[in-house]
């Protein structure tokens, strides 16, 4: 369960591990394995997923145009924010924000989409995921220990 959630959202995976009573090291390892697996899977599938999303967007846009409706704006606040992060901090910024701010699938797809030509992208994503898994697991393990002591 921890590995499965780790492929999607690291914070949820670490919370499940702490809730199951896993010790710090076990929770950290399973959360890291799931998160790294998620990064690798979604990074490798990103080309297919973005092409699917693009075709779906074009189909819906054509349907709206055919029915006389208005089309959605292309440059939304979210898109502008993502592009600002891309230009200001590069692959390191995307890697740093992937585990906790973005979800692992979104961060991996964005990194693959914008920085697929840079061989440092995947290692940066993996290091970021492992370091943040360590920090989140340490915090959650400490919080769970406080609750366990208070319950005694």
Show me where the domains of the chain are located. 2-50+80-151
Q: Which two tokens stand for residue 35?
A: 């998160």
Per-residue pLDDT of 57-77, as tens digits, reads 889 888 888 888 777 677 788
Euclidean distance between CA atoms 16 and 123, whole angstroms: 26
pLDDT band at 83 (very low <50, low <70, confident <90, very high): confident
Name the DSSP class of 98. T
At 35 the pLDDT is 92
For 108-114, what is the mean pLDDT? 89
Inter-CA distances, 53 with 1, 58, 65, 71, Å: 28, 9, 18, 16
User: Hunting for tokens 């819906």 — which residue is that?
Assistant: 60
At 33 the pLDDT is 93
């Amino acid at each position: 369960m921890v590995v499965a959630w780790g492929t999607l959202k690291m914070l949820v995976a670490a919370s499940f591990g702490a809730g199951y009573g896993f010790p710090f090291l076990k929770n950290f390892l399973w959360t890291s394995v799931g998160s790294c697996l998620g990064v690798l899977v979604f990074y490798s599938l990103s080309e297919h997923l973005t092409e699917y999303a693009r075709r779906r967007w074009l189909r819906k846009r054509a349907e709206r145009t055919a029915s006389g409706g208005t089309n959605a704006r292309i440059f939304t606040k979210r898109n502008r924010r993502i592009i600002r992060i891309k230009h200001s901090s590069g692959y390191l910024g995307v890697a740093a924000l992937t585990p906790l701010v973005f979800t692992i699938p979104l961060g991996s797809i964005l990194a693959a989409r914008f920085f697929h030509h840079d061989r440092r992208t995947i290692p940066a994503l993996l290091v970021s995921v492992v370091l943040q898994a360590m920090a989140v697991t340490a915090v959650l393990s400490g919080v769970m220990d406080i609750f366990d002591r208070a319950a005694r």
